């Protein structure tokens, strides 16, 4: 077991903890909003992590080999902000006074990229815990390839009763235990309090037994939340466990050391106001009439402790003046030129075309990690030359997530947040519902993750309405800052991959189960625009818009309308988000001035911004052969021609 570091002046430790607790009360009180009690209870643990255990450098918050810290109960954000101020990450007292205000550096829940020293956007319970598993997986893979001279750090996570109650935590914990992620150390804040009251009204879990069953190293620390040396010893001992993730169960008392609100469920929220704050400050030896009290000597002491990380960072940089591409996530070689091309008349499902793209670019992205939620081959994310990431063997680039869609999506976020990882994950489109909370956080955080969502329409067939996505593409398109591509054929699929790999945020590829013909005029380069003219016509009387498998219907319908004397333009719309990003003039040039009708094998929602009429499926599907279901629900040329003709008649 690693020996604890030599403690500094005990009075300074006590004052630091009192200072953190004072800020934890003052900032929410100033905002008249926020969560105070959890931050107060966890102040000693957080102090030990930041002053004695974690490896970081406030002057270089993004240093590659820093320890990662995840505060999964993000409602306790003021705890982290107080530590970031004391350690010198750039947060000022004015930032703390501005807690939860418009454009402040201290939002209600931590946001990565917004506040230096914050590694992850947390708030939805369970997400931080699950995401930390992805961070640990990325670290383990990099260490397996690059060695501990380059990668030698830990992932520290604080989680709560609420985190472990959410289903996503079960999925992620099971995967972490299976893999044996030894540098993932989680501290469970077992305060036995929830918003509704004591947790025993809804929770009788045995966290020790549960995590032992997952294959974790579990230590029940008991009621040592105020014992700094015991906390330090436990944290350092967990670092010595190399073959399992660690769960340290810590009994704390929410609202400590309030004379009136300790262990009261009211302390979960905004309960400490003038009188309660003054009482608690008197107990801690703080001036009850002073808000945001941070003594100069204490601040100097804390900044000196944190500054020690600079020497470690400088030594690392001297030894690694040019970090390898695997660590930085950069591409090597001509990956664009490696993407496959297709000839008109070829017949290939876009999920298979996507798999060919993935195999082609994998050698150029050493950071790429692909995997599926028990549908790895079905969803086009099984690498031809992939090496599995397995228990105790972390170097592989192929992850078998098992039936854990929700956990997979969060783990992918963790990989991307850690850096040195380009995660690609696959499942059926209908199960994107399970992934949605994590996708939303990926978009909010601007993470470069790629989702392969296949079996994209009622063309799934006999599996029936439970497996036939109807509203799912529209639901994905509704997420801000998520690029969604539904390519029409193999050529557009290659274009979608090129766009995804050049994008700073998340991308959802929506792909067909069934074979689709490669069309004459599809253009991989134009896919990045989101919409482009596929078939033009002089003096077009009508424009047909389509995405995915329905673009071929537009082409045949345009031919038939032309035979009837109605010249038709066809526009392929692989990505609403990319198309919306074009300037108004460019969009108008593509759409033209003629009446417009759209077709897609899903709900009509979203299409009316561009079309006068929409041929869609605003109902659930049915169990039958895929071609039959498509035809019966109106996804056929005859129906499109009839509706287009009716639109022309209505427009005169």
The residues annotated with a catalytic role in the active site are 405
**DSSP secondary structure of 581-594:** TS-HHHHHHHH-SS
| Cβ-proximal residues to 377 (8 Å cutoff; 6+ apart), any chain | none
> Using CB atoms within 10 A of its CB, is residue 248 exposed (0-12), middle (13-18) or buried (19+)?
buried
Distances (CA, A) of 108 to 287, 506, 519: 26, 24, 50
Query: Cα–Cα distance between 511 and 491 in angstroms, integer?
Result: 13
Query: In this structure, what token pair is assigned to residue 176?
Result: 């972490």
- Residue from 94, 230, 97, 211 nearest 157 by CA: 211
Place of tokens 């063309």: 459
Closest CA to 600 of 550, 543, 533: 550
As a whole number of Å, the CA-based R_g of the chain is: 28
The alpha carbon of residue 102 and the mean position of all alpha carbons in its chain are separated, in whole angstroms, by 24
| Burial call 79-93: b when 16+ CB within 10 Å, e when fewer | bbbbbbbbbbbebee
Long-range own/partner contacts, residues 583-589 (CB < 8 A, 24 or more apart): 586/529, 587/531
- Closest-CA residue to 368 (of 528, 155, 142): 142
Q: Which is nearest to 477 in space by CA: 443, 511, 524, 454?
A: 443
198 alpha carbon, distance to own chain's centre: 31
Q: How far apart are CA 425 and CA 137, in angstroms?
A: 14
Rounded CA gap, 125 and 30, in Å?
25
Residue whose tokens read 């399992």: 244
3-state SS class at 413: helix
Question: Could you please report the per-residue DSSP string of 51-93?
Answer: III----TTSTT-TTSPEEEESSGGGHHHHHHHHHHHTSS--H
DSSP code, position 50 = I
């Amino acid at each position: 077991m690693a020996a604890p570091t030599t403690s500094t002046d005990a009075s300074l430790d006590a004052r630091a903890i009192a200072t953190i607790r004072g800020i934890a009360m003052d900032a929410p009180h100033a905002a008249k909003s926020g969560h105070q009690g959890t931050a107060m209870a966890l102040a000693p643990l957080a102090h030990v992590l930041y002053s004695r255990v974690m490896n970081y450098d406030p002057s270089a918050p993004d240093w590659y080999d820093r320890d990662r810290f995840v505060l999964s109960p993000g409602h306790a954000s003021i705890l982290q902000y107080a530590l970031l101020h004391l350690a010198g990450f750039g947060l000022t007292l004015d930032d703390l006074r501005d807690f939860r205000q418009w454009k402040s550096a201290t939002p209600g829940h931590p946001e990565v990229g917004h506040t230096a020293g914050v590694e992850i956007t947390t708030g939805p319970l369970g997400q931080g815990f699950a995401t930390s598993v992805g961070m640990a997986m990325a670290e383990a893979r990099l260490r397996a390839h690059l060695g501990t001279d380059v990668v030698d750090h830990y992932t520290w996570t604080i989680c709560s009763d609420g985190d472990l109650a959410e289903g996503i935590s079960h999925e992620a914990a099971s995967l972490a235990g299976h893999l044996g992620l030894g540098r993932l150390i989680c501290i469970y804040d077992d305060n036995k309090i929830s918003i509704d009251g004591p947790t025993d009204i809804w929770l009788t879990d045995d966290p020790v037994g549960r995590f032992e069953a997952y294959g974790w190293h579990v230590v029940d620390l008991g009621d040592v939340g105020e014992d700094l040396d015991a906390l330090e010893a436990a944290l350092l001992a967990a670092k010595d466990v190399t073959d399992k993730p660690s769960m340290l169960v810590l009994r704390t008392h929410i609202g400590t050391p309030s004379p009136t609100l300790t262990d009261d469920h009211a302390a979960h929220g905004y309960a400490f106001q003038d009188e309660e704050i003054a009482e608690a400050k008197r107990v801690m030896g703080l001036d009850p009439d002073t808000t945001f009290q941070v003594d100069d000597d204490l601040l100097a002491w804390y900044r000196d402790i944190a500054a020690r990380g600079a020497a470690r960072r400088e030594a690392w940089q001297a030894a690694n003046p040019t970090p390898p591409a695997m660590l930085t996530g950069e591409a090597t070689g001509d990956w664009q030129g490696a993407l496959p091309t297709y000839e008109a008349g070829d017949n290939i499902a876009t999920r298979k075309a996507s798999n060919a793209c993935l195999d082609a670019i994998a050698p150029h992205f050493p950071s790429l990690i692909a995997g599926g939620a028990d549908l790895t081959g079905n969803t086009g994310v099984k690498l031809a030359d992939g090496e599995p990431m397995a228990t105790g063997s972390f170097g592989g680039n192929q992850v078998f997530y098992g039936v854990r869609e929700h956990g997979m999506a969060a783990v992918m976020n963790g990989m991307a947040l850690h850096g040195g990882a380009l995660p690609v994950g696959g499942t059926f489109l209908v199960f994107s519902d399970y992934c949605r909370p994590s996708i939303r956080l990926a978009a909010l955080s601007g993470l470069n993750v790629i989702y392969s969502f296949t079996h994209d329409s009622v063309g799934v067939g006999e599996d029936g309405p439970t497996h036939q996505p109807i509203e799912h593409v529209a639901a994905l398109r509704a997420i801000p800052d998520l690029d969604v591509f539904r390519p029409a054929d193999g050529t557009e699929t290659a274009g979608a991959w090129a766009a995804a790999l050049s994008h700073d945020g998340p991308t959802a590829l929506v792909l067909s189960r069934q074979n689709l013909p490669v069309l004459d005029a599809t253009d991989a380069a134009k896919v990045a625009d989101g919409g482009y003219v596929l078939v033009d016509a002089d003096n077009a009387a009508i424009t047909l818009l389509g995405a995915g498998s329905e673009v071929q219907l537009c082409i045949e319908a345009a031919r038939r309308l032309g035979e009837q004397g109605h010249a038709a333009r066809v526009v392929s719309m692989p990505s609403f988000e990319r198309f919306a990003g074009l300037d108004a003039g460019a969009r108008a040039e593509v759409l033209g001035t003629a009446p417009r009708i759209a077709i897609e094998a899903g709900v009509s929602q979203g299409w009316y911004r561009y079309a006068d009429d929409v041929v869609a499926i605003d109902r659930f599907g049915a169990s039958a052969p895929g071609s039959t279901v498509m035809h019966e629900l109106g996804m056929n040329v005859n129906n499109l021609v009839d509706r287009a003709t009716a639109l022309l008649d209505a427009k005169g």
